[in-house]
Structure 1
Amino acid sequence: MTARILILNGPNLNLLGLREPEIYGADTLADIEARCVERAERRGLALEFRQSNHEGALVDWIHAARGSVEAIILNAGAYTHTSVAILDALRAFDGKVIELHLTNTHRREAFRHHSYVSLRADGVIMGFGAPGYLMALDAAAEMTAAGA
């Protein structure tokens, strides 16, 4: 069985490479997506990669993932710290959930230390920059293959 993985990106991640590169790095979201697609193909995974600045779109995509993907990798951006709606949608998803952040949010402003997503996540990857996406993809592949 081919594992199906959904990578969702929240607000402002469309500006990667432009917005605060000293914090988020020089890679664009398109650069990251290309590397993820390549890794997924090598691992025999079916991958969807999406981004929205709108909370409702993220909620809708999580709902649509029910029964159609085995794992969601979510970089919810600022919604990580504010969205009960995303948490509730994730709680209705029966697959694996990996929370992902480019930066170590615990080394940043205090309001970034709390994560609603973590209340549902099976694992969290943060602080590794763009390579964290590949780490999350590899983790999702292992988690779904093992049926863990």
Structure 2
Amino acid sequence: MTRVIVVNGPNLGRLGVREPDVYGHQDLDTLRADCRAWGQELGLDVEVRQTDDEATMIGWMHQAADEGTPVVMNPAAFTHYSYGLADAAHMLGDAGLPLIEVHISNPAARESFRRHSVISPVATATITGMGFYGYKLALEAVAHCLAQ
């Protein structure tokens, strides 16, 4: 089974209680279980991580590039300004690995500051506005990329 990490940025540990009208009522544990199940269906060994710390997320990108691990990333607030994370994520592409950017909500339909992503230019693909189902689509995209 191919290992894939799903990394989530700041405040996603508060899923289910933070703005449920935007992010839904399901929590991070539900997302972990869903991603593992969807991964198994695709022959992927999925590990879901979450951090509020930018340096930790950058370290995860370095580790993924070094170990040859595809990534599904919800950078959350880091989406809009973390050039350090974008640089680290770029290393995945340099290593020939898929990086699928995913967002639970549709940033383009929200506040103007959310409409720009510094991650999208280095991502293989971006999926937005599909709730948790977007992670399933992202894992399917990883499987598709690996099969090419």
Match of 2:79 in 1: 80
Moved over 6 A (4+): none
Match of 1:14 in 2: 13
Q: CA deviation at 1:48?
A: 1.7
Unaligned runs of 5+ in 1: none
**TM superposition score normalised by structure 1:** 0.94
Unaligned runs of 5+ in 2: none
Match of 1:35 in 2: 34
Matched residues, number: 145
The separation in 2 between residues aligned to 1:106 and 1:98, in whole angstroms, is 17
Q: Secondary structure of the residue that 2:67 maps to in structure 1?
A: coil
Match of 2:142 in 1: 140
Q: Does 1:65 align with 2:67?
A: no
Identity %: 37
Amino acid at match of 1:30: D
Q: CA deviation at 1:130?
A: 1.1
Amino acid at match of 1:141: A
Q: Secondary structure of the residue that 2:25 maps to in structure 1?
A: coil
Q: CA deviation at 1:77?
A: 0.3
Q: CA deviation at 1:88?
A: 0.6
The answer to whether the 8 Å contact 2:90/2:123 transfers is no
The answer to whether the 8 Å contact 2:10/2:75 transfers is yes
**TM superposition score normalised by structure 2:** 0.94
